[in-house]
Structure 1
Amino acid sequence: MGGALGRLPLLVVLAGVLALSMQVPALHALTRDAHAEARAFFYWSAIFLALVTGVAVVARRPLSANLARSHLVALVGAFAGLPLMAMMPVTEIVRDTSAINLYTEMVAAATTTGGSLYDPDRLSQSVHLWRAMVAWQGGLMVWIAAVAVLAPLRLGGFEVTWSDRAGQSARLSIADQRRAPGERLWRYARTLTPVYVGLTLALWMLLAFGGSGQTEAAIRAMSTMSTSGIVGQGDAPGFWGEIAIFAFLLFAVSRLTFAGDLHREQVARLARDRELRMAFMLVSAVTLVLFGRHWIGIYDLTAEQPFTAGLEALWGAAFTTLSFLTTTGFESQSWSEARTWSGLEQPGVLLVGLAMFGGGVATTAGGVKLLRVYALYAHGRREMSLLIHPHSVGSHSPDAMRLPVKGTEAAWVFFMLFATSIAVTTLALGATGLEFREAVVLASAALTTTGPLADVAMEGGVARLTDTAKLVFVAAMVVGRLEALALIALFNPDFWRR
């Protein structure tokens, strides 16, 4: 794959894959006897494949002098430009809508933000499947690009573990860093794609066996792996389906859960992984606080509360907490019981906070990322220690030795950029006429790639925004997916000189 395709621009390759994938919803629509939908997907697939083939013939050229820069630019083009391709078949199916609505919908899918401008019943199952497929491909692209493109550039969270003295990242081997950018990209594509596909198929079968329809099971499986939170027209997966989804959401917490180079040390490394420990601590703390709030606030103690109601509340809080922590946005069927049990009427701030924490580095989750949060926590603990022992040199614990000083500085820089991005996006959305609370939650939803938060912010969600506000929301989703540091790197003159 790295031979002939390696000499093509990455954006052309991604466009070809997207065009080819349109055949899947075409076949699905054909099985439903929805021939008009099948023709729309099939014809646009054929048109785009012909165009991509023509561009590929013209665009074949010697390799760029700076492939890493070229790949980073291609990622920006992919998240902003490929949704224009993805929306074209849908324009033939959903005619009573605007182009800006469809473009916003597809950018939300491609960036794995999820959510929807449309009522579920307004879109057919084939269109829901296509939305999930676009998000699924976007998630795979994020998986591959994180370790193949962003890690060598010290972006995407890898800057936290980068050591100048060692000249490497703790999460990227020396051999990988010495590979050419193009070779590294195709190597990880060959390595991670089977893992991503296999996990999706496994979850699909588990959900189907649990009672979900085939199409709805496929949509939720792809949405879980891509952390997009996209759903179709089917019913919720039920308790056993939620257990399966909960287990597979762990792949969005830490890259170590799906890395293929761990072998015998996998269990030991997982036990020591800081991101997994942070996720366990957050999920446990939020769940127990919500559960214990029933007695702390003395809610409805006079009424009889069956034991099963408490268990449902506990599970609903745990599932929803992990879902929003990984920026997926699924709500448990028992989430309403959890809110009633705890007396929590306005969960918006809680869910926004969880989404801001985010998932693991090099996963499909958005947010600040747990590794950066851990770096800030470790730095704060160190500063508190200095107040007591001002002449201490440093900690000798293994975790402290593996976290470089410049990694903490990078985490602070990103956190400030993230906060600035939220402020700028909030101001831009507020200038379009939104109230402050709505603007803040929508900005958080876009920058953390957690689309379902938009429904928490305002009734009707993104669909109620003006066209200008939707364009702001689109730009924020792209920034949130690639992160501000990566986009700032593109404006660095030294980055273009190298």
Structure 2
Amino acid sequence: MRLSVRRVPLLVVLALVFSASMYLPAVHALVRDAHREAQAFFYSGTLLLVFLIGIAVATSRDKSSNITRSHLIAMFGAFTVLPAMAVLPMLEVVPDTRVLNLYVEMVAAVTTTGGSLFAPERLSDSAHLWRALVAWQGGLIIWVAAISILAPLNLGGFEVAEGRMYGQHAARDGIGSAEPNTRMRRAILTLSPIYFGLTLLLWAILVIAGENGTTALIHAMSTMSTSGISDGTTVAGSSAGLVGEMAVAAFLIFAVTRQAFVTDMNRDHIRHLADDRELRIALFVVATVTVVLFIRHWIGALEVGGLSNTGAALGALWGAAFTALSFLTTTGFESSHWHDAREWSGLGAPSVLLLGLSIFGGGVATTAGGVKLLRIYTLYAHGRNEMNLLVHPSLVASSTGAVRRIPPGGIEAAWIFFMLFATSIAAVSLLLTLVGMDFEAALTVAIACLTTTGPVAELVLGGKGALNALPDAAKIIAALTMVLGRLEALALIALLNPDFWRD
């Protein structure tokens, strides 16, 4: 039986786990005495399990001649097929809505984009929990796929990563020479307990800080998956207060750098976390944005005579830091002090700055989206080296130490990705304007979907549920763009490469 399970296609295995997870919101709804919702989740999960077990039995004897290709296809299927399965119980739980809205909602969840087409009060606690659970599983898929699928193909940011996973440490542990199925199994066994344990730890901290158990679980799963999903009680309005925000900020480090969690692929790197380039860039960006925003709010407070309020000033400092870190990791949570800072200074939210932070994105092999900090660093280091050559054309050294640490072809790959990313923003914005959206809204939705930062679109367009006002064609385009932003253009191009399909 163990051997036959290994031969089941990866997408079928993911669908089986996904279906079994429906029992959690079923139990939650049953505890709430919401028997209709409990039945919807229980029956949907059971029917899907029975159906998928039959598919697993039928396909377990077929072994793909190219496992890596099969896994990459499974990634694409995970972000397009699994949302359709997630819609099934929601059809009964959410009344008076359409399948299209629910499908876009689930695509936003599984791609860890977040955001919602529904006002929070339209969804029950169990429905909010299901959204967060879908996003949490999507985040785990990204973690595992980055290590076992994208890294061997030099995609997802690994094309510029120093000390690639399949270097001397991988050779020592026998990972670099392992076949794709073995890599996948090892990554699952290594990363799943870490991901699950960190989520439980954050949930416990939030509960101890005073947050409701369900809300704390939703926020914990949303933090680890960087989806920014919340129920009617946001992080800013949570009873956990400052302690809760500090806990969430501490756990967002796992979206900044993959070196923050210990795996057998980078075991000794954790001791040098302070020297990690992604973490240092993130700290620099957050610190710079915090200072700029604080000065901006301070000037605003000076004009309205609010400089004597020291507490508001300190709150503005923390609110800017937390919100900057949250949007940099493409999570999209806002601090309660972020709102207080605007009241203190009388200034509005700098939406363009938050859009820019989400474009920067988080770390490689994390659940964060965006361009990724390591690619930003690569382009910066190469630009600085070119400037040195312009100033000192007779310089003997061809590159600085920072550039020499970038793998061969990494600079070109980073530049190609950045151009593809910029072109994608332009193309998606154009498509959205053609279906009736104004330019500002189209640009915002395009950036939000490509960077998997749904809350930034809600912030600009008018709050929770604002995405529901989009035309149907725009919703379809947004859903496809979320998948593109999650997989990244280079991975989709790899799927379209004829050589990739040749056995």
Which TM-score bucket, shorter chain as reference?
A: over 0.9
Task: Look up the match of 2:69.
Answer: 69
Check the 8 A contact 2:389/2:395 in 1, yes or no. yes
Distance in 2 between the 1:228 and 1:218 partners?
13
Equivalent positions of 1:393-408 (< 5 A) are: 393-394=396-397, 399-408=402-411
Determine helix, strand or coil for the equivalent of 2:175: helix
Q: In terms of mean alpha carbon deviation, does 401-410 or 138-147 score higher? A: 401-410
CA-CA distance at 1:336 after TM superposition: 1.4
Distance (whole Å) between structure 2 residues aligned to residue 485 and residue 171 of structure 1: 26
Amino acid at match of 1:280: L
Paired residues of 1:104 and 1:474 also in contact (CA < 8 A) = yes
Once residues 127 and 156 of structure 1 are traced to their aligned partners in structure 2, the CA distance between those partners, rounded to angstroms, is: 31
Output the amino acid matched with 2:322: F
Question: How much has 1:345 moved relative to structure 2?
Answer: 1.9
Show the counterpart of 1:292.
295
Listed one character per residue, the Cα deviations across residues 30-78 of structure 1 (whole Å, up to 9, x for unaligned) are 1001110001100011100000100011011243121111100111111
Code of the aligned partner of 1:191: T
Bigger drift between 202-211 and 452-461 goes to: 452-461
How big is each residue's C-alpha offset from its partner over 1:266-307, in whole Å with a ceiling of 9 and x where there is no partner?
Answer: 232x11111001100000000011112245567426344321
Does the alignment pair 1:266 with 2:270? yes
Q: Does 1:456 align with 2:459?
A: yes
- 1:5 counterpart residue number: 5
* 1:472 corresponds to 2:477: yes
CA RMSD of aligned residues (A): 2.0
Asked if 1:445 is matched to 2:444, the reply is no
Counterpart pick for 2:492 among 475, 484, 487:
487
Report the Cα distance in structure 2 between the residues aligned to 1:286 and 1:121, rounded to whole angstroms.
Answer: 33
Q: In the alignment, is the contact (CA less than 8 A) between 1:291 and 1:341 conserved in 2?
A: no
The 3 A distance-change label for structure 1 pair 172 and 464 is farther
Task: Indicate which of 386, 389, 396 corresponds to 1:386.
Answer: 389
What is the identity, as a one-letter code, of the residue corresponding to 1:112? T
Q: Which residue of 2 aligns with 1:131?
A: 131
Q: Give the TM-score taking structure 1 as reference length.
A: 0.95
Q: Residues 161 and 169 of structure 1 are in contact (CA less than 8 Å); yes or no, is this contact kept in structure 2?
A: no
d(CA) in 2 for partners of 1:320, 1:2: 46
Counterpart code for 2:21: S
Percent identity, aligned pairs only, is: 56
Aligned-pair distance for 1:444? 0.3
Return the offset for 1:338: 2.7
1:309 alignment counterpart: 312
Equivalent residue, structure 2, for 1:180: 179
Deviation at 1:348, TM superposition (A): 1.3
Count how many residue pairs are aligned between Structure 1 and Structure 2.
Answer: 495
Name structure 1 gaps, 5 residues minimum. Answer: none
SS in 1 for 2:232: coil
Q: 1:211 to 1:412 in 2, by over 3 A?
A: same
Provide Cα deviations, 1:324-364, integer angstroms capped at 9, x if missing partner. Answer: 00000000001112334565424210110000000000000
Contact 1:112 1:227 (C-alpha < 8 Å) held by counterparts: yes
Contact 1:283 1:322 in 2 (8 A): yes
SS at match of 2:336: coil
Deviation for aligned residue 1:471:
0.2
Structure 2 SS opposite 1:310? helix
Contact 1:203 1:244 in 2 (8 A): yes
Quote the Cα distance in structure 2 between the aligned partners of 1:332 and 1:461. 20
Q: TM-score, normalised by structure 2?
A: 0.94
Helix, strand or coil at the partner of 1:426? helix
